[in-house]
Amino acid sequence: MIVLHHTAMTSAEAALERLCDPAAEVSAHYLIAGDGRIWQMVDEADRAWHAGAGSWAGCDDINSRSIGIELDNTGAHPFAEPQMAALEALMPGIMARWSIAPVNVIAHSDMAPERKSDPGARFDWQRLARLGLSVWHEGPPVEGHDLSRFGDFAQSFGYPKDTPHEDLLHAFRLRFRPWKSGAMDARDLEIIQALTRLHVDHNAPNA
């Protein structure tokens, strides 16, 4: 799978220094600056320490089965156009080399909803989906409005089992309904139910 992050640091250079510091015990395969520069720090075939504890689609030890991409952004401002263009140029090759389906391109917050929020509400997932690099749902309402089933659908889509409801809803909305707040509603259920249908293969991702 591919896991997207934001650096939450003051500059790409500061992030690069930290990601290359053995004492920090953190790394990623790629770092993309706001101006579109790309650094590869870890070979794609090797394990990078970017994900930490969490799971996706029933798989844990995400570091062993994912490519980590860090985006130079504090989380408080939009992602720059050169950066997005560089990401969109980088991802197809990774996905082809490792047979990564769009449904397995995820946010750090997707695999660790209780402790992470990156890349955050300002990241344009819909833009990636239009290019076939991730998933999105804008279709008509689907049948069924039993809100109690939200957690079941979310787990079927890939979110970690037994995630507290508030954390799960927050992570889901960060990605699929940015800036939405308040109690869960029927549209949340419609979206997650439709997305679940995309996740037809519940086996471990190849990467």
Residue predicted with more confidence, 194 or 44: 44
- In CATH terms, the fold of domain 2-196 is Lysozyme-like (3.40.80)
Picking from 37, 7, 36, 40, the residue whose alpha carbon sits closest to that of residue 24 is: 7
Average pLDDT over residues 152-159: 95
Residue 55 has pLDDT above 50, yes or no: yes
Q: Taking each helix axis from N to C terminus, what angle separates 186-196 and 150-157, rounded to the nearest 10 degrees?
A: 30
Catalytic residue among 17, 70, 88, 138: 70
Contact 41, 29 (CB under 8 A): yes
Question: Does the annotation count 70 as an active-site position?
Answer: yes
Mean pLDDT of the chain: 92
> What letter represents residue 206's amino acid?
N
CA gap 57, 1 in Å, rounded: 10
CA gap 190, 184 in Å, rounded: 11
Sequence spans of domains, the chain: 2-196
Q: 36 Cβ partners below 8 Å, 6+ apart?
A: 80, 82, 83, 85, 86
**pLDDT tens-place string over residues 115-140:** 999 999 999 999 999 999 999 987 66
Contact 36, 71 (CB under 8 A): no
Note the pLDDT of residue 205.
Answer: 46
Residue 17 has pLDDT above 80, yes or no: yes
Q: What residues pair up with 149 in beta bridges, in sequence order?
A: none
Token readout for 88 is 């969109």
Q: What residues pair up with 69 in beta bridges, in sequence order?
A: 4, 30
Residue 207 has pLDDT above 70, yes or no: no
Average pLDDT over residues 78-105: 97
Residue predicted with more confidence, 76 or 202: 76
Average pLDDT over residues 11-40: 97
